[in-house]
Structure 1
Amino acid sequence: MTDSPILLRVRELALLLPEVEERPSHGQPTFFVAGKQFAQVREDHHGDGRTVVCVRTSGTDEQAMLIDAAPDTYSRPAYLGPSGWVSIDLAGEPDWTLVEDRIARSWELAAPAGLLEAGGR
């Protein structure tokens, strides 16, 4: 994948958070904190024609609530969905404030307690 404007923007948001590392996972640009994945950019994943960022939620209840409340924004991503993750649609003109907040929340869910206690974000 080339560094598309969407990837560059997500990367900028993710790398604002403490101790973040980017590396490919299953061929997708993926962001980690303390070895735990918290965000993944997918552009035309398996030919689906979509551009999304996948992020953690607190679990399947929150996942269902987000998808039910805003089905044009959120969906259940392949592979990560059973663990409660959501994908955020980045087509058109996404709400970057929402995207930033969801990436930061996902980081908080993945970060070790010691990092959160030290001040987190």
Structure 2
Amino acid sequence: MATADDLRRIALELPEAYERASHDNRSSFRTKPRMFAALRDDGDVAVLWVADEGEKHALVTSEADKFFTTPHYDGHPIVLVRLAAVDVDELAELVTESWRLRASTAAVRAWDEA
């Protein structure tokens, strides 16, 4: 079972990542200039980017116990993750992939070469 603290630790270990309160005062994790992860107000759900709407729908359909969405995210490649339903290793993979999609090309290249 992953926690908000696990999300924070994983996100902040990524290159150029930093934490900032979003417009609605929730924790968000960014890499210049984009957000790549956030915690919902309740702290038990992560907001993460995926490659596209197809991947989002596949996750929500195949693993509804872990992934869901709301109408607010319709049309966006963003999935909501129930932290209690994923282990830390799976969360690390999801957060890292979200970061890769949102980080600069140079940051991703440096990460890949390290």
TM-score (norm. length: structure 2): 0.86
* Change over 3 Å in CA distance of 1:24–1:43 after alignment to 2: same
Instruction: Give the one of 5, 13, 35 matched to 1:8.
Output: 5
Which amino acid in 2 is paired with 1:36?
A: R
Partners of 1:81 and 1:20 lie apart in 2 by 26
Deviation at residue 81 of structure 1 after TM alignment: 4.5
Matched, 1:116 2:114: no
Deviation at residue 94 of structure 1 after TM alignment: 3.2
Deviation at residue 114 of structure 1 after TM alignment: 1.3
Q: Which residue of 2 aligns with 1:89?
A: 82
Which moved further from structure 2: 94-103 or 74-83? 74-83
Structure with greater helix percent: 2
Q: Which residue of 2 aligns with 1:35?
A: 33
Instruction: Give the one of 9, 14, 17 matched to 2:14.
Output: 17
Which moved further from structure 2: 71-80 or 97-106? 71-80
* Change over 3 Å in CA distance of 1:76–1:17 after alignment to 2: same
Matched, 1:79 2:77: no
The Cα RMSD (Å) is 2.0
**2:81 match: secondary structure:** strand
Q: Which runs of 5+ in 1 are unaligned?
A: 45-49
Deviation at residue 80 of structure 1 after TM alignment: 3.6
Q: Which runs of 5+ in 2 are unaligned?
A: none
TM-score (norm. length: structure 1): 0.81
**1:101 match: secondary structure:** helix
Aligned residue pairs, count: 111
User: Are the equivalent residues in 1 in contact too, given 2:4–2:83 (CA < 8 A)?
Assistant: no
> 1:25-61 CA deviation, whole Å, 9 max, x = no partner?
12110000112000001143xxxxx721110001100
Identity percentage of aligned residues: 24
* Change over 3 Å in CA distance of 1:36–1:53 after alignment to 2: same
